[in-house]
Amino acid sequence: MEYIHLIEKTNSPFWAFAIHDGHQIDDALLPYLVADDDTRLREEDPQTGTLAELPFNRFISATSRFQLDLNRIRKDAVYLRPEQAWGI
């Protein structure tokens, strides 16, 4: 499975995070998705990486939260039921 992310370290004590900046879903998972592209895009955080363009350490992930939700604890990070993904 491909996981796209950027980690950029600078000489700063601060970090900027954009943990669902993209719409990337591994091709192997596409047959299992119920949500269409437009619905997924509405619940993702596209372009938050632009907001993270600061002179700080940065972590930016282009992987869709519908592949792996980095906001959730490990056991809930992969959606198995609609109620885990806002009813989608």
Answer yes or no: pTM beyond 0.95.
no
Rg (alpha carbons) of the chain, rounded to whole number: 14
pLDDT per position as a tens digit, 12-66: 999 999 988 888 898 999 999 988 888 888 888 888 888 888 899 999 998 899 9
Q: Nearest to residue 24, comparing CAs of 51, 42, 4?
A: 4
Domain boundaries, position 81: 5-85
Q: Which helix (H) or strand (E) holds 39?
A: helix 37-43
**CA 17 to CA 30: how far, in whole Å?**
26
Q: Count how many domains the chain has.
A: 1
- Record the tokens describing residue 66, joined without a space: 């519908």
